[in-house]
């Protein structure tokens, strides 16, 4: 048997009982101190947890900021490409709408020729000083069709 077990089996004297009572009281006091320590440790753990959570939140926000900045750069690049394409298409549209280009294609590919002076008649609305159709009492013919004579129209 161990010494502790042997000590417990021996009947205790008055001094032993007092000593034992003091020990129990000391343990009770110690337990109260342990509760305070436990509270302070719990407070410290909660505080550390909040600090870690705060730090991880800040790091997460920075990571998100970096991701968004990369995405923003990519979008700016694609926007610049789209604006350049838009500019090119506007230039191409202006080129295709050019009257001189259309006239050249009509002459070369379609075989058209410029009209003779007697084949063109202007409407009064488009002649300077003309009163136009709005000022007439009766309806007028805006343009007359002139039949082409044998002048080489293909």
Same domain membership, residue 123 and residue 81: no
The answer to whether residues 124 and 132 touch, using CB atoms and an 8 Å cutoff, is yes
Instruction: Let me know whether 68 and 122 are in one domain.
Output: no
Q: Quick one: 20 and 85 in the same domain?
A: yes
Residue 84 counted as domain residue: yes
> What integer pLDDT is reported at residue 154 of this predicted model?
45
Q: What pLDDT score was predicted for residue 36? A: 79
> Residue 10 has what pLDDT?
53
Q: How many domains does the chain have?
A: 2
Q: Check whether residue 26 and residue 61 sit in a common domain.
A: yes
What pLDDT does residue 18 have?
A: 85
Report the C-alpha gap between 38 and 87 in whole angstroms.
Answer: 72
Q: What is the pLDDT along the chain (154 residues), one digit of tens a residue?
A: 455 555 555 556 777 788 888 887 777 665 555 677 888 999 999 999 999 999 999 999 999 999 999 999 999 999 999 999 999 999 999 999 999 999 989 999 998 988 888 888 877 776 666 555 554 544 454 455 555 555 544 4
Helices (H), the chain: 3-9, 14-97, 99-108
pTM for this entry = 0.44
The pLDDT assigned to 121 comes to: 82
Per-residue DSSP letter, 12: P
Q: State how far the Cα of 17 lies from the Cα of 130, in Å rounded to an integer.
A: 136
Residues 21 and 85 in one domain: yes
Judge whether 104 lies within some domain.
no
Torsions phi, psi for 98 (to 5 deg)? -60, 130
Q: Does a structural domain hold residue 57?
A: yes
Does any domain span residue 107?
Answer: no
Find the domain containing 67 and state its range. 10-99
Shared domain for 82 and 119, answered yes or no, is: no
């Amino acid at each position: 048997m161990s010494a502790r077990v042997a000590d417990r089996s021996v009947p205790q004297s008055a001094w032993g009982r007092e000593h034992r009572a003091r020990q129990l009281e000391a343990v009770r006091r110690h337990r109260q101190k342990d509760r305070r320590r436990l509270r302070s440790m719990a407070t410290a753990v909660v505080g550390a947890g909040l600090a870690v959570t705060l730090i991880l939140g800040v790091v997460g926000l920075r990571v998100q900021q970096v991701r968004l900045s990369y995405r923003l750069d990519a979008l700016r690049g694609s926007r610049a490409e789209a604006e350049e394409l838009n500019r090119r298409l506007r230039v191409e549209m202006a080129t295709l709408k050019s009257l001189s280009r259309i006239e050249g294609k009509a002459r070369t590919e379609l075989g058209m020729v410029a009209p003779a002076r007697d084949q063109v008649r202007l409407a009064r609305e488009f002649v300077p000083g003309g009163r136009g159709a709005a000022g007439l009492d009766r309806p007028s013919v805006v343009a007359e069709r002139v039949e082409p004579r044998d002048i080489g129209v293909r």
